[in-house]
Structure 1
Amino acid sequence: MNTVKHGLSIGIERIDNHFFLNLKAVGKLTHADYEIITPMIDSALASVKDPKVDALIDATELECWEVRAAWDDFKLGLKHNNEFGKIAIFGNKNWQEIAAKVGSWFISGDIKYFDNLGDATAWLIQ
């Protein structure tokens, strides 16, 4: 039997007064993945009064989204639009850099693509 790994993992860290949302996307994301992760993100952000959250998205193992999952991602971004300060996307594929640029049209925070994790982290904490 061949097992296909996919999904999102989430973590929230606090450094001084900064809240950091860490997401790792793996494989082909599905609507079912978002049915699990969306309530977790909603709950985590609801626990922060007037949240201004910086996010690091590790997309190095992300292959693609199902169409419905891409829509779920778009809706999640719109729902929490004003809560994000900076979003760093760490990836290794050209289409991820393009996706970061498109995402910046819909999120009020700054979105930037990086192909180096250290650079992404440094930008977030400046």
Structure 2
Amino acid sequence: MPVNISETADGKVIEVEVNGKLTAADYDLFVPLTEERIRQYGKISMIIVLTDFHGWEAAALWDDLKWDVKHFTDLERLAVVGDRQWQKGVSAFCRPFTSAEIKYFDWSEREAARSWAGETAPDS
């Protein structure tokens, strides 16, 4: 499975581990869960873990952009975890699509990313 989705016990932080290329079917799993948690909490935080990430299929990229526009203000924090320099650029790529605080973490800092994403942002 190219995408593994998990969440903290309270559901306010969703972790999405991506392996390979994202497909529209992956968004069929991701969107309902995130939208339910946003309805439940108002704002959530996310951790995106990139493992051998190869980008998006065209339909998945469209789904991603639609989700980003719809939920521009619904993310509090977005942690991007990767092990390649270009993946650090993914966090910069996300900036125009969300008002969330975004931070990149190297793979070795995965636990720090989880901790950071679970914190409440100072202006919340």
The TM-score with structure 2 as length reference comes to 0.79
* SS of structure 2 residue aligned to 1:82: coil
Pick aligned residue for 1:25 from 18, 26, 29: 18
Task: Note the residue ranges of structure 2 that are not aligned, 5 or more in a row.
Answer: 120-124
* Mapping of residues 1-126 of structure 1, within 5 Å: 5-6=1-2, 8-14=3-9, 19-46=12-39, 48-49=40-41, 51-115=42-106, 116-126=109-119
Q: Distance in 2 between matches of 1:72 and 1:113?
A: 23
Backbone CA RMSD of aligned residues: 2.1
Aligned pair count?
Answer: 117
Q: Distance in 1 between matches of 2:86 and 2:59?
A: 18
Q: Distance in 2 between matches of 1:14 and 1:77?
A: 24
Q: Distance in 1 between matches of 2:111 and 2:36?
A: 28
- Which protein has the larger Cα radius of gyration, Structure 1 or Structure 2? 1
Of stretches 62-71 and 102-111 in structure 1, the one that deviates more from structure 2 is: 62-71
> Runs of 4+ in structure 1 displaced over 6 angstroms?
none
* SS of structure 1 residue aligned to 2:50: strand
Q: CA deviation at 1:86?
A: 0.5
Q: Distance in 1 between matches of 2:84 and 2:62?
A: 21
Cα distance, 1:44–1:33 mapped onto 2, change above 3 Å: same
**Structure with the bigger percentage of helix:** 2
Cα distance, 1:68–1:93 mapped onto 2, change above 3 Å: farther
Task: Note the residue ranges of structure 1 that are not aligned, 5 or more in a row.
Answer: none
